[in-house]
Structure 1
Amino acid sequence: MGKIHVLDKQVAELIAAGEVVDRPASVIKELVENAVDAGATAITVEIRRGGTTFMRVTDNGSGISRDDVPVAFIRHATSKVLHAEDLEAIGTLGFRGEALASIGAVARVEVLTRTAEELEGTRYAISGGEEESCAPAGCPQGTTILVRDLFYNTPARMKFLKKDVSESNAVAAMMDRLALSHPEISFRFLRDGKETLHTPGDGKLRSAVYAVYGKEFTSHLLPVSYEMDYVKVEGFVSAPTASRGSRSMQHFFLNGRYVRSRTAMAALEEACKGSIMVGRFPACVLYITLHAGAVDVNVHPAKLEVRFVNERPVYDAVYHGVKSALMKQDAPKQMHWNTPSGKPALSQQPVPLRGTQMHFAPREQAHAPAAHPQTSQPATPPVPEKNEKREKATPAAPSVPSFFERTESKPDFSFLEESAERTYTPSVPVKKPMVEPVVPDEKTPSVSKAAPAPAVRPEPVRTEIVKPAPQAETQPEVPPQEAPSAPDVRLIGEAFSTYILLQVGDGELMLIDKHAAHERLLYEKLRRDHAAPNAQMLLQPVNVPLSKDEYDVLMQHKDLLSNAGFECEDFGMGSMLVRSVPLTLGSDDVPGVLTEMAGYLLSHRRQIQTEKQDWLFHNVACRAAIKAGDESDPRELTALCLELYQHPDVRYCPHGRPIFVVLKKREIEKQFGRV
């Protein structure tokens, strides 16, 4: 007698049902998707005890005719697919004809349904795959399906169910995804008699998100709308400040169907890379729309996994859509420098760019009434001696001026209280402020103990701010500017030679990690300029000795080094000669960068070129940035904060560490027992 035999129908049904129905949440998913396909505009779901004993789904869709009800519970019976070519362009959520048959095989099911053409409805009952009754009944248009005693005839499957609370949570999560997938449908979910979800069904995604996740989550969402080739991406992505500790809040919907897509997830996280901290994840509700023939949803009975004919357009559309949303949110803002109380404002000047020097006029000239600007450098006024300063000191010394307040006007730079003209270089290309000594004439006493200017690599381009000439005394005094509505930001100082302290308005204290901030700004500059890197030729080329493996791998990646500003050539005997380096890097750092780069390339041979390039930019920026523990001039800190303010998207260093933290005044007062 042969060993191979045909399975009994009931056994085959139970096996097939296990592929579709594994817990109450999967039953709800299949029934709700059928209601959506039926054109329902309102769907109500009720469960008790996690759904194991009671589940009911009610909709106002097209309903099922009396003749079709028994047929609907036969395996592979469907109204959505007829020919093989229909599988190439599936436009419905269900199409396999397995859901109702699988549910009817492992539970007690009762159906009450009516179409618009029928005068009376139909009541149909089935248990364990066996039809029990089919009779006329009165009911409104639509369908109500009641499922009781799930897995009553398969105790082996029953024991794998979790506690009622866990199963209820799984159903609730499924309902959240279904409600988000179709904001045009009003969803209502009752859990043990208590309503936990009710969406308005007004067709607005934000309304659905608000109903599902609440006000706090919705308030941190950025709109996404992007179309590329035949792929359209719409929805929302969370702001960088509202990142999550897991990917549980990432929702992707493909043609109205909730899916798990590694392609979309990778594009989302790549677009947010550098905007959120390492180990944190963006949240999103994104709708991807493309032609049905460009995707295969017939991969698994659960229909959660999909395959794209071409993944690249989907990746690019999601990436650029999310990136555009983040860039709109992080658009640079204008800033305003307050003048001391009662002082007229200086003429407005642009913020100095990286690699430029700026001359600050003495206080007396800075506040002089403006006439026609001079074309030549005016003579330097006398500088008082130390004892003279003390005799003429004001009762209360002014604090460091408030800076980078947000306003609609252009920047105003009447802020410096210096008594002598100085030359200043912003912090990005140099690590210490450069002060140019005043050249005295015969009538001008020199400033005692003037600090010499440190060497700078390379010499930046010099840009001078032309100071206005004095005006006649009859000129009316310029009234002081009105205070902007934005909160005042004041530099307090530096703590531990590492953290910049800022007072923001009257309610916040901000601490900025100067190394992390400078490192990120340098990294962004290297990324922007990699096509035409800003490099400096070395007066004396640097010879870097390397092992054979290090030498070989660096020679293979000469283009990579060139994009960062390194000009290297073979020097023989396993060494490399470096003739130019990035503008921000010193020659002393060259051997360390190249040997670290060689080690990285040897251990990451399979990484793509862009990831290798990013690592090199990280390394160069880290070495060139201001070091924690090194004291900085207040003006250097001011310039760093000013540039940081112009890049509001910069919140984390390239390694993922936060650049700043904010302490609320109330939190500090709690520590002192004031509140």
Structure 2
Amino acid sequence: MSKINVLDKHIAELIAAGEVVERPASVIKELVENSIDAGATAITVEIKNGGITYMRVTDNGSGIARDDVAAAFLRHATSKVHSQDDLESISTLGFRGEALASIAAVARVELLTATQGELAGTRYEIDGGVEQDCEDAGCAQGTTFVVRDLFYNTPARMKFLKKDVVEANAIAAVMDRLALSHPEISVRFIRDSRETLNSPGDGKLKSAVYAVFGKEFTAGLIPTEYEWNGVKLWGFISKPSAARPNRSMQHFFINGRYIKSRTAMVALEEAFKGSLMVGKVPACVLHMGISFQAVDVNVHPSKIEVRFINEKPVFDAVYHGVKTALHSGDVPSVMAFQKPEPPVFEQPKASVQIQFTAPAKPADSQSPPVIPAVRPAAAPVHGFAVSDAHRPTFHTNFSAANIEFTEPVPVPEDDHPSASVMPEPVAGEPVQSAVLGVTPIETPASEEAEKLVGEAFNTYMILERGNELIFIDKHAAHERMLYEKLRAQEGQADQQMLLEPVAVTLEKNEYAAVMNSLDLCAAAGFEIDDFGSGTVLVRSVPLILGDDDVAGTVMEIAGYLQSAKNDITTEKLDWLYHNVACRAAVKAGDVSSPMELSALAKRIENEDIRYCPHGRPVSIVMKKKDLERQFGRIQ
């Protein structure tokens, strides 16, 4: 009996559709690419329920002729490839002729289209690959696709779809790339009856970037334009100061097609070497123009991965183009001081008599002058408090329209305020560290078991205890302290309100992950609001974090939340504690005073801190005998 069975045409189409249509975003991508190939200058996309129940794509392109409508839904039917030679230089976004057939096989599709000069348009309906109706219809030139009930006839595929908000964000990402890839096309995206994107279509890439990512992201960009060895490069790169913690905002396009290229990514980051902090990567919106014969886009069904005949010209163009832009565009900020205006003195009125009266001399010439009992409170001068005894005083008497000025009390030459940055501690009081924020537990000198010897490389504290030397990583130790403090607050971290809310632009999937985890962020001490269009507004941060690099912290959190989809809440919260503690802790290389190091050492001793939150040891011990053995004092 034969074991090989020829599949039914309908089953074969359902299987083939899975390679092209994975989710609603796949449908939108294929349809808008057809609109672009049709010469559209305006494209509108509307979805409901994440696109699962309703998607509509409207364009003003060339339309489809009545005679071609039914054939357009046949597998491998296309107007973009006529011979084998055409595959060697593909200039259109679509070319396989599989999209419409795949979409129609797993959804209910309605088409409205009209070409220039036709008296009437065409309405065509097809469900699950079976034609239902074809009739005349009144419509403007262009094409409208309405796709309903995706995967209604393939429940196995339906159950693998994500939540509506996740699917909608995937479509939003496709629309963002469309607007960035073709700034000459006006792109409009309506999500559950709310417009979330509307690009002007004026042909200016900066306008498209502004429409997609907003003002804050656009302000941190440097324009780039370069040509090298047949590769033309143009677009924008981020300033080093606007670098990000992940690559989610790196966008590359070749001949108007969004791609993922490791060659371009490595060239970009190599060009930024020496300009970025460790752990940061640049963002970009870069277009590359290259000969169609030099790139193969027929590598993967998604057409995102491409293959170059020669990768070196692409690498060189990106590398040198970005280097040139950084050299000319990354201008350091200039600090300017405004020259103060001279004081303006008003002339006294004629009716006022001014008398300068010297104070009466005391009976005993050796006794100090009498200081009036009422005078202004002491005020800091250049950061130091001036004692009342040394303050110049001004005594006024307006009883007879006379103004009397009392001579200031002279200050002894050797009694000026101290210029010390840190005041001397008062005996018997614990010392509060200004930088590390730790207060040691007071211990009598006779009971001290450890002695601070010093610090190596502004990173490792060195303590002497009996016959041992203890080396302590101050960052790891301080990080552990802060981490334990956050954990002790049990999800109710102390917050501080920012003077000005910080707007942070995120990639659409990261933005969705943050919006779905607002309660989790609040438990870690972050108050975050939705600012719309992929941007969040940070109003409060954990008290221990301060207001340093708030945007960078939120970007890292967003990247983690987007990638850690399967982690339980406690694991996510623990990661947030790790991140906040690491950022707030004193850094390796920071200069610390002996007082701060001593305070930290006492906290370590009293709290028995051994490991940082990431598992690295806080301290290591060297025995005196091991040191003496190295010097040959003992065998």
Normalised TM-score (structure 2): 0.54
- 1:80 corresponds in structure 2 to 80
Flag the 1:493–1:160 CA change in 2: closer, same or farther, 3 A.
Answer: farther
- 1:115 corresponds in structure 2 to 115
- The secondary structure found in structure 2 opposite 1:67 is helix
Flag the 1:330–1:495 CA change in 2: closer, same or farther, 3 A.
Answer: farther
1:273-297 superposed Cα distances (whole Å, 9 cap, x missing partner)? 2212222221110001100000000
Separation in 1 of the partners of 2:174 and 2:132?
30
Q: How many Å apart are 1:5 and its aligned residue?
A: 2.1
1:298 correspondence with 2:298:
yes
Separation in 2 of the partners of 1:283 and 1:201?
23
2:234 and 2:287 in contact (8 A); partners too: yes
Q: How many Å apart are 1:108 and its aligned residue?
A: 0.3
- Counterpart AA for 1:294: A
The alignment covers a number of residue pairs equal to 359
- 2:10 corresponds in structure 1 to 10
Separation in 1 of the partners of 2:5 and 2:202?
55
- 1:153 corresponds in structure 2 to 153
Separation in 2 of the partners of 1:268 and 1:111?
43
Separation in 1 of the partners of 2:220 and 2:119?
50
Pairwise mapping of residues 522-537 of structure 1 onto structure 2 (< 5 A)? Answer: none
Q: How many Å apart are 1:30 and its aligned residue?
A: 0.3
- 2:232 corresponds in structure 1 to 232
- 1:210 corresponds in structure 2 to 210
Q: How many Å apart are 1:117 and its aligned residue?
A: 2.5
- 1:51 corresponds in structure 2 to 51
- Counterpart AA for 2:132: E
- The secondary structure found in structure 2 opposite 1:210 is helix
Q: How many Å apart are 1:118 and its aligned residue?
A: 1.1
- Counterpart AA for 1:305: E
Separation in 1 of the partners of 2:63 and 2:312?
40
1:289 correspondence with 2:293:
no
Flag the 1:340–1:311 CA change in 2: closer, same or farther, 3 A.
Answer: same
2:223 and 2:329 in contact (8 A); partners too: no
Flag the 1:17–1:334 CA change in 2: closer, same or farther, 3 A.
Answer: closer
- The secondary structure found in structure 1 opposite 2:214 is helix
- Counterpart AA for 2:129: G
1:260 correspondence with 2:247:
no
Q: How many Å apart are 1:627 and its aligned residue?
A: 10
- The secondary structure found in structure 2 opposite 1:6 is coil
Pairwise mapping of residues 18-37 of structure 1 onto structure 2 (< 5 A)? Answer: 18-37=18-37
Q: How many Å apart are 1:328 and its aligned residue?
A: 1.3
- 2:309 corresponds in structure 1 to 309
Aligned CA RMSD, in angstroms, stands at 2.9
Quick one: percent identity of the two aligned structures? 68
Q: How many Å apart are 1:6 and its aligned residue?
A: 1.5
Flag the 1:133–1:222 CA change in 2: closer, same or farther, 3 A.
Answer: same
Q: How many Å apart are 1:321 and its aligned residue?
A: 1.1
- Counterpart AA for 1:31: L
- The secondary structure found in structure 2 opposite 1:79 is coil
1:262-281 superposed Cα distances (whole Å, 9 cap, x missing partner)? 11111111111221222222
Flag the 1:220–1:494 CA change in 2: closer, same or farther, 3 A.
Answer: farther
- 2:126 corresponds in structure 1 to 126
Pairwise mapping of residues 120-199 of structure 1 onto structure 2 (< 5 A)? Answer: 120-199=120-199
Q: How many Å apart are 1:131 and its aligned residue?
A: 0.8
Q: How many Å apart are 1:99 and its aligned residue?
A: 0.4
Separation in 1 of the partners of 2:22 and 2:64?
26
- 1:40 corresponds in structure 2 to 40
Separation in 2 of the partners of 1:330 and 1:220?
10
Q: How many Å apart are 1:339 and its aligned residue?
A: 12
Pairwise mapping of residues 203-602 of structure 1 onto structure 2 (< 5 A)? Answer: 203-331=203-331
- Counterpart AA for 1:152: Y
- The secondary structure found in structure 1 opposite 2:287 is strand
Separation in 2 of the partners of 1:245 and 1:118?
54
Normalised TM-score (structure 1): 0.50
Flag the 1:334–1:52 CA change in 2: closer, same or farther, 3 A.
Answer: closer
2:244 and 2:283 in contact (8 A); partners too: yes
Separation in 1 of the partners of 2:421 and 2:250?
40
Task: Please say which of residues 316-325 and 40-49 is displaced more in the overlay.
Answer: 316-325
Q: How many Å apart are 1:112 and its aligned residue?
A: 0.3
Separation in 1 of the partners of 2:129 and 2:80?
22
Q: How many Å apart are 1:329 and its aligned residue?
A: 2.7
Q: How many Å apart are 1:629 and its aligned residue?
A: 7.3
- 1:394 corresponds in structure 2 to none
- Counterpart AA for 2:255: N
Separation in 2 of the partners of 1:179 and 1:86?
27
Ranges of 4+ aligned residues in structure 1 off by more than 2 Å: 329-342, 492-496, 626-631
Task: Please say which of residues 315-324 and 78-87 is displaced more in the overlay.
Answer: 315-324
Separation in 1 of the partners of 2:157 and 2:29?
19
Separation in 2 of the partners of 1:66 and 1:56?
20
- 1:441 corresponds in structure 2 to none
1:561-584 superposed Cα distances (whole Å, 9 cap, x missing partner)? xxxxxxxxxxxxxxxxxxxxxxxx
- 2:359 corresponds in structure 1 to none
- 1:673 corresponds in structure 2 to none
2:112 and 2:139 in contact (8 A); partners too: yes
Flag the 1:190–1:334 CA change in 2: closer, same or farther, 3 A.
Answer: closer
- Counterpart AA for 2:205: L
Flag the 1:65–1:341 CA change in 2: closer, same or farther, 3 A.
Answer: closer
Flag the 1:340–1:96 CA change in 2: closer, same or farther, 3 A.
Answer: closer
Separation in 2 of the partners of 1:227 and 1:66?
44
Separation in 2 of the partners of 1:70 and 1:146?
16
Separation in 2 of the partners of 1:50 and 1:292?
35
Separation in 2 of the partners of 1:267 and 1:165?
35
Separation in 2 of the partners of 1:90 and 1:296?
8
2:253 and 2:288 in contact (8 A); partners too: yes
Flag the 1:495–1:165 CA change in 2: closer, same or farther, 3 A.
Answer: farther
Pairwise mapping of residues 58-69 of structure 1 onto structure 2 (< 5 A)? Answer: 58-69=58-69
1:424-451 superposed Cα distances (whole Å, 9 cap, x missing partner)? xxxxxxxxxxxxxxxxxxxxxxxxxxxx
2:44 and 2:59 in contact (8 A); partners too: yes
2:239 and 2:330 in contact (8 A); partners too: no
Separation in 2 of the partners of 1:79 and 1:332?
53
2:222 and 2:330 in contact (8 A); partners too: no
- 1:408 corresponds in structure 2 to none
- Counterpart AA for 1:166: V
